[in-house]
């Protein structure tokens, strides 16, 4: 009987402590730590996270905070976690712009999935995609897969990738046109592309890679 009473007393005490921690801001948020931020502005993040300061950390809805952060244009994924006693840890995974399409309302930045995720100033490492009348995600995704297959050291030599049709592409590298064709057999074509960059001809067809054909 005595052990039972002790057990009941412990449960009551634990319940009271838990209730106090939940209903009273004993454990307050004192720090919000942001990591892996590159393009997302501090102001946009602060608009979401500043209100967390001083809140009861137990009552912070990390799922809601992550959802709000994920709605920001550059954010592909947000992870929010509590680190007791007083820290909210925020980790962002941002979109990686691969292509840029020039439009009347500005430069449309496009990720590896062909998604236009923000209208902003183009970045140095993005490849312009031309001859597209609209934002066709399938066309963009095909073009992005081509760019991804090319060695990073060679991407900087690309002036633009031109959509000859929605699913067939030419790559312009300076005064050289490299006919890539469809976004298939990209591994072989990427190796042929490396060879094509070293050749003197102005037009090189690598659609049949590893075989290439040239025009003066």
Q: Note the pLDDT of residue 18.
A: 43
CATH of the domain at 83: 3.10.20.310
Neighbours of 216 (CB within 10 A): 6
Tell me, yes or no, whether 18 lies in a domain.
no
Q: Estimate to the nearest angstrom the gap between the alpha carbon of 89 and the chain centroid.
A: 19
Does 113 map to a domain? yes
Same domain, 40 and 116: no
pLDDT > 60? residue 129: yes
Among 75, 94, 113, the domain-final residue is: 94
DSSP 114: S
Domain assignment present for residue 6? The answer is no
Say which CATH number the domain at 156 has: 3.40.50
Write out the residue range of the structural domain in which residue 85 sits. 25-94
Q: How many folded domains does the chain comprise?
A: 2
Domain final residue, candidates 47, 64, 94: 94
Tens-digit pLDDT profile for residues 6-64? 545 454 444 444 444 444 455 789 999 999 889 999 999 999 999 999 899 998 999 99
Query: Parallel, antiparallel, or unpaired for β 203-205 and 176-181?
Result: parallel
Helices (H), the chain: 2-23, 42-49, 62-70, 137-149, 152-155, 186-198
- Domain annotation covers residue 19: no
pLDDT tens digits, one per residue of 141-173: 999 999 999 999 999 999 999 999 999 999 999
Matching residue, tokens 């004192």: 30
């Amino acid at each position: 009987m005595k052990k039972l009473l002790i057990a009941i007393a412990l449960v009551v005490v634990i319940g009271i402590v838990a209730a106090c921690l939940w209903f009273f801001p004993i454990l307050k948020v004192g720090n919000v730590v942001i990591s892996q931020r590159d393009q997302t502005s501090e102001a946009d993040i602060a608009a979401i996270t500043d209100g967390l300061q001083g809140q009861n950390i137990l009552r912070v809805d990390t799922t809601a905070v992550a959802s709000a952060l994920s709605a920001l244009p550059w954010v592909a994924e947000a992870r929010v976690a509590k680190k007791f006693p007083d820290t909210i840890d925020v980790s962002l995974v941002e979109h990686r712009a691969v292509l840029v399409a020039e439009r009347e309302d500005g430069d449309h930045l496009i990720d590896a999935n062909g998604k236009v995720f923000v209208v902003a100033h183009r970045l140095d490492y993005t490849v312009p995609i031309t001859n597209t009348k609209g934002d066709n995600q399938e066309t963009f995704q095909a073009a992005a897969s081509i760019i991804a297959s090319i060695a990073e050291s060679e991407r900087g030599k690309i002036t633009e990738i031109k959509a000859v049709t929605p699913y067939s592409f030419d790559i312009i590298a300076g005064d050289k046109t490299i006919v890539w064709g469809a976004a298939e057999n990209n591994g072989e074509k990427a190796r042929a592309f490396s060879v094509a960059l070293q050749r003197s001809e102005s037009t090189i067809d690598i659609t049949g890679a590893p075989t290439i054909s040239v025009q003066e």
